[in-house]
Amino acid sequence: MPTDATPDPYANPIAFGQRLKILRTRKGMTRAQLGGLVGDKTASWVRAVEEGRLQTPKLQTVLRLAEVLRVRDLAELTGNQSVPVALFTGPGHPRLRAVKDAIDAFPFTTAREAPPIAHIQARLASAWTARHSAKNHREAIGALLPDLIRDAQLAVRQADRAAERRSAQAALSEVYSLSQFFVAYQPDAPLLWRVADRGMIAAQESEDPHTIGVAAWLTAQAHRDSGPDHYDAADAVVEDVLRFLTPLLPNASDEVLAITGALTFEAGYTAARRRETGTAWRHWDKARTMAKRLPDDYYHPVTSFSQAIMGAHAVTVAVELHAGGESVRQATASDATAIPSRPRRARHRIEKARGYQLDGQPDVALDTLARAHEAAPETIKYNGYAKAIVLEETESKIPDRRRRASELAVKLGLLAA
């Protein structure tokens, strides 16, 4: 190994502060940047922790450090190899292998005829419905995806005419979009990026504005969830596609208007992650104006963009800005029952729980997470923020809170029954 190589933070039993410094350096972050992202901590505080002049922070702060540094296993930061905790990656769904095999396969020789595009589109519509209505939505779509992927790939290869090929590419891109919902937060980041890239390529080949918008929405999310180093890439994707879609809005269909609104909110979401308060709320307000142009009962099948979702989006912005009081105010004003999608409703409740936790209301946070679990167990099971709250409260000094947190931790697979 070269003498100037960055050491492995978990190759040897080194102190928490040393690990923190190594991981921060690997991310190219200054102490001031890390402190600000963790929650108004100073550069001197970070330095004191790194140098061992301060004790290891409390669990809530450790989990926030892991979040900012995008640590996949808490042991990378704490050094405890006996209790690995995958915070931001789910456990790996039993159907992941079959979905991965279908994505990775490109059979160029087959005597089988591809189903008609209309047939694939009808199956996609059913799959989206299943995703929104099923409590275990990954299981529902994981069972459908392998055949959908193979058939959509085959339809593209067998398309003869230009118009037919564009329609097939649009269907294939949508299949990849559905696949990204399944693959996200599972232990195969390269697979997620293959799906996102192929979805964008197929969308571009389709030349369909709505399809391009959906692929961009998902690609931006993949960038943003990869950490602060990728926020600029997320913004670039959103801004470029918004420039493409905006001239179409005066005569746009509901679906094009909805995906434009969803992308507009994504820009605000990333701004909130950066703690850019004014920019975040400005994008949210612009997205809300677009939502008001949609029919009252309209609900975008991929992004969930609608009038009903804007309250949930407001909670997300407030939480990402770490505004506890505002998070609670927005959570109180929002109506989870107005969201028809089970997984999206569960995610909204997780965001509300984050707000209550920020505001110093851990009991309400746990109750809200329990309701999220009732709505869609697979959503909370794969959500790092929810797991962080639950793990923190399993160490509460209040027996009843600790008991309820432990019971929920068992349901999420974080603790043994």
pLDDT, tens digit, 9 for 90 and up, residues 114-144: 999 999 999 999 999 999 999 999 999 999 9
What confidence tens digit (pLDDT) does each residue in 334-366 have?
Answer: 988 889 999 999 999 999 999 999 999 999 999
**pLDDT tier at 16 (50, 70, 90 boundaries)?**
confident
Q: Is the pLDDT of residue 85 over 60?
A: no
**Cβ atoms of 85 and 75 closer than 8 Å:** yes
The share of the chain scoring above pLDDT 90, in percent, equals 65
What confidence tens digit (pLDDT) does each residue in 23-70 have?
Answer: 888 888 889 888 887 877 888 899 989 888 888 888 778 888 887 887
| All domains of the chain in start order, with CATH | 16-78 (1.10.260.40), 92-207 (no CATH)
What confidence tens digit (pLDDT) does each residue in 299-330 have?
Answer: 999 999 999 999 999 999 999 999 989 999 99
Mean pLDDT of all residues belonging to the chain = 89
Q: What local confidence, expressed as pLDDT, does residue 10 receive?
A: 39
Q: What local confidence, expressed as pLDDT, does residue 189 receive?
A: 87
Taking residues 243-249, what's their average pLDDT? 96
**pLDDT tier at 2 (50, 70, 90 boundaries)?**
very low
Q: Is the pLDDT of residue 84 over 60?
A: no
Taking residues 200-220, what's their average pLDDT? 98
Q: What local confidence, expressed as pLDDT, does residue 7 receive?
A: 42
Q: What local confidence, expressed as pLDDT, does residue 83 receive?
A: 44
**pLDDT tier at 417 (50, 70, 90 boundaries)?**
low
Q: Is the pLDDT of residue 151 over 80?
A: yes
Give me the amino acid identity at 281.
W
Q: Which residue has the tokens 């943003």?
A: 224
What confidence tens digit (pLDDT) does each residue in 182-198 have?
Answer: 999 888 889 999 999 99
**Cβ atoms of 269 and 261 closer than 8 Å:** no
Q: Could you give the dihedral angle defined by the CA atoms of residues 130, 135, 136 and 138, in that order, rounded to the nearest 10 degrees?
A: 50
Name the nearest CA neighbour of 131 among 314, 299, 341, 312: 341
Evaluate if pTM is beyond 0.85: no
